[in-house]
Amino acid sequence: MPAFSGMGTTVTIGGTALKATSITSPTLKRGSIDVTNLESPDNIKEFVPGLLEAGDFSCDFFLPEGSGLDASMDEALAANYEKAIVVTFPNGGSVTFNAFITEFTFDAVAAGDNAVKGKLTAKAIDRPVYVAAGA
């Protein structure tokens, strides 16, 4: 299967579409629990599988004019609200998860030909649902 371009990928947070410039999707990872004991064979540490963690999501974006995103994300950050996040790829695949906002910032605004850019970071609180293209 050939690779595809990321151009055309969309991000929606709590129903608001962003003009994303870069995205880092959550990554499922499993912790490990050290169960090494005085009877562990060959002096080798022993481990058992721990819990899954979905990790963090981050997105750099241009602030959509008139979206109210700045107030919505500020409120979500202050009140610990969860937001549904949907990333849809141009080939039709997607990843959906719920998260709480951990960081919401804007870049410095300067004179000249500049657009207002922001960055959002969120902690996924459930297992991301991945949908393959064409599914």
pLDDT tens, 28-60?
Answer: 899 999 999 999 999 999 999 999 999 999 999
Q: Give the pLDDT confidence of 58-111 residue by residue, as tens digits.
A: 999 887 666 556 666 667 666 677 889 999 999 889 999 999 888 888 776 666
Q: What pLDDT sits at residue 98? A: 94
Task: For residue 129, name the pLDDT band (cuts at 50, 70, 90).
Answer: very high
Tallying the residues shown for the chain, one arrives at 135
Q: What pLDDT sits at residue 106? A: 78
Q: What pLDDT sits at residue 83? A: 86
Q: What is the mean pLDDT of residues 18-34?
A: 92
Q: What pLDDT sits at residue 68? A: 59
Positive or negative, the CA dihedral 42, 48, 53, 54 is positive
Q: Using the CB atoms, write b or e for 55-73: b if 16+ within 10 Å.
A: bbbebbbebeeeeebeebb
